[in-house]
Amino acid sequence: MEYFLQQLINGVTLGSIYGLIAIGYTMVYGIIGMINFAHGDVFMVGSFMALIVFLALLALGVTFMPLALLIVLILAMALTSLYGWTVERIAYRPLRGSFRLAPLISAIGMSIFLQNMVQVAQGARVKPLPPVITGGYQFGAADGFVVNVSNVQVIIVVTTIALMVAFSLIVSKTPLGRAQRACEQDRKMAALLGVDVDRTISLTFVMGAALASVAGLMYLLYYGVIDFYIGFVAGVKAFTAAVLGGIGSLPGAMLGGLLIGLIETFWSAYFTVEYKDVAAFSILAIVLIFLPSGLLGRPEVEKV
């Protein structure tokens, strides 16, 4: 039982990171109906931004960790949001009236560009970060398997829940959220009613990039190493999570992220780690056979 609880904690932690990335996919798809395949690499850029700011603060003598983490979080979100805004302006906005495949190809090109830019700027070797948050809690019998919950895991889960609640309130209660929901239903009609569609889409990319940067920081703190290729792997997993939960649904993205994290963790723990990705994608295929819109997705209605 203790071993099961340990893997459950590990799976929820990993799924929280996937869920934060998946929200960016589902927000962009909900408004413009396109998959931003550069989003995983925006997450990777966020990890490197967090690492660079962290090392700079340590070099400046800022060693009080709560203050350092807060500064890193704010600066990483701001800098990564700028990348998200740039992706929208370069890869999506000029092609918004083109055929549907053009923005997809452009986003893939932007993904390759970001990967190679970071590889050239930071090198191909992994970049380590010494543990900055230590300690945790232990549960279980002294003579049996002990369940460990690290402080990093607690921070990741609590931060994810807080951001999920905050962004859900933004979408449901604020003028920006109403504009996003209007653009999701009909961009032309929203523009006729006075909604600034370009601004709304740009802010959606910025919000998604900000969440991706938080996920990048959490990934850095949790694993302690990053490289220029983590965006592709995590991006594919997060996209799978968004589709599994229901593309276009914020709760669905988080639910899908948690499920992918749990599937990977439990499969690695009880079967074999080599086939954990096969298990995750197999579950996705099975779910989509019976629920084509995902677990919490809504069937798409064709406008005529």
Nearest one of 117, 116, 93, 119 to 106, comparing CA atoms:
93
277 CB-contact burial (10 Å; exposed 0-12 / middle 13-18 / buried 19+): middle
Of 6, 73, 15, nearest in space to 240 by CA: 15
pLDDT for position 264: 92
Provide the whole-model pTM. Answer: 0.92
Res 154: pLDDT: 94
- At 302 the pLDDT is 54
Per-residue pLDDT of the chain (304 residues; tens, 9 = 90+): 778 899 999 999 999 999 999 998 988 887 877 788 899 999 999 999 999 999 999 899 888 888 999 999 999 999 999 999 998 998 888 888 788 788 888 989 999 999 999 999 999 899 998 888 888 888 876 566 788 899 999 999 999 999 988 988 898 899 999 999 898 888 889 999 899 999 999 999 999 999 999 999 999 999 999 999 999 989 989 999 999 998 888 889 999 999 999 999 999 988 888 888 888 888 888 888 888 888 887 766 555 5
pLDDT of residue 143: 60
- Reported residue count of the chain is 304
- Residue 132: the pLDDT is 85
Question: Domain spans of the chain?
Answer: 18-229
Residue of 259, 159, 154 whose CA lies nearest to 215: 159
